[in-house]
Chain A
Amino acid sequence: MKLIKLSILAIILLFIWFAQSHFDAYAVSILNNIAIFAILALSYNLINGVAGQFSLEPNGFVAIGAYVAALFTLPAATKIDMYVLQDPSPLVLAMHTSFLPALLLSGVVAAVIAFMLSIPVFRVRGDYLAIVTLGFGFIIRIFAMNQPAMTNGALGLNDIPDTENLYWSGFIMVVTFVIMLNIIYSKYGRAMKAVRDDEDAATAMGINTFWIKTYAFMTSAFFEGVGGGLMASMLTTIAPDQFTFLLTFQLLIIIVLGGLGSMSGTIVGAILVMGGTEWLRFLDQNMDIFGYNTGAHPGLRMVVFSMLLIVMMLFARKGIFGNKELTDIFRRGK
């Protein structure tokens, strides 16, 4: 039992090592992307799938994580050169740590902001969470644009040290996966599922629904912040317009496809959606259909993906895994 789990873990780590050292740069970058999106989607699934509170927050928290990690890893000299709109504030110059503490700080800042958002939102029933988090994504952008002393405004941050590689993203993905599974099977996870299935009954059972929802939301935000930090280091350049709703939408497709509430499904969904996005790239470009040139259609891929989402919701609401986990195979006897 334990042996099987450990060997799966060993195979994954071995694969990460093999891919990083043997695959070509393009394949590694796709795998890197899949791993980061898997981290984001795993945490997004906790609030949406497990706790059942529809939220559209990832782009906001990823942006926060990316900015925090970037500001903490950039050396002061680079910052002084880069900030042309306004001189960087002394606070920005003082921020400097190595990569790992910067990642953790990204997560902590995102989680603190999640806590502040959950006070107004979870006092009423979860309905407003979706619209408040959707608005939050825009607000973060507005603040990033209008605080040039902090964020360098619309120009964004460049030359972020690219410490990140497949070891970082792959290892953090595995850690996130294990933590999420442990949360699901803990008493907090059961409480989250109870809130999802019937909030009134959960309250009657003595569950503090406000805290359970806040806990789920903050945990999601923490890992989204960390994922954002990884993303900043992978891309080496970030700007306010980069973290749009498109990011949230991709994650939503991943968790719906994989199965709301299933962490194993989320990994499969991340591979399918991110792989599919690469594969469907031809849709956005010129096409010759029976000699007729269609011209480039940027956005056609997203039309396909949004139709996929609607069709999934109408006809296959459970997704690939439902709310089962791969490890449930081993749990049958219990």
Chain B
Amino acid sequence: MRRSFFRKNLVTALLLAPAALWLVVFLVLPFVAIAIFSVGERAPEGGYQAALTFAQYANLPARATAFWNTMVLAPIGALACLLVAYPVAYYLALRAPDRWRLILLAMIVIPFWTSLLMRTYAWMYILGGRGIPALLTYVGIEDLRLINTPGAVLLGIVYGYLPLMILPIYVSLERLDRRLLEASADLGATPLSTFLGVTLRLSLPGVMTGFSLVMILLLGEYLIPTLLGGGKVFFIGNALVDLFLQSRNWPFGSAIAITLVLVSVVVLIIANRISTRLSGARRVDLI
């Protein structure tokens, strides 16, 4: 009896060991490493020199523009995504004909899993000098600048993250008890008040999940501001690439990375609080 108990535990440990090792070596240790780096100093030739100082954190305002751009454009981008995504999710969950639903859903998921680089490149192509601006010269609008503007970055954000916003909202709307809608209508509610009081209210957990997911991924975004914002609209991700790969100020970069993770955690906690208040959080399957 005791032997089989031991064997059962051994099997469990063997099953979990590779994943545990991976998580420790490539997630926990690296995180500890940048936490240590963030309280260090920059070596004269670049890289890291051991120290215990909060100078790197005190220096964060030096990259205030990157933080400002990210903190302004990420929520706006997530909100814009939400405004476009909600009607689509609503249609897919409650209005689409049954035989179309799965096909349309697949058509939403596919872009999410295709290269963000290639999809952002497509917009670079469209908004760039030989795309829409070239077409507009035919109708007399000259010298219109579309690429390398905050608007272009926002467009790229909505394009890139729309699928991720639609899916959780779809999931929460699809599980909605249709009888509640009928009950609301039977009790004399107008379609608008049914929507506001029942549909929207019950889909809020999905909205929160989508919003926080998109928001967190946007906080670390690099490709979209780089390709569609040129050198003009840069995010925290751009500052990090610069500090680690060009100016090699690793301690300062680590401090920024830690700050970024802390902000993400705060966003997640707030979103979680709101979701649990609005009736239990729900699972989201990304596929």
Q: Do A and B bind each other?
A: no
Chain B residues in contact with chain A, CB under 8 A? none
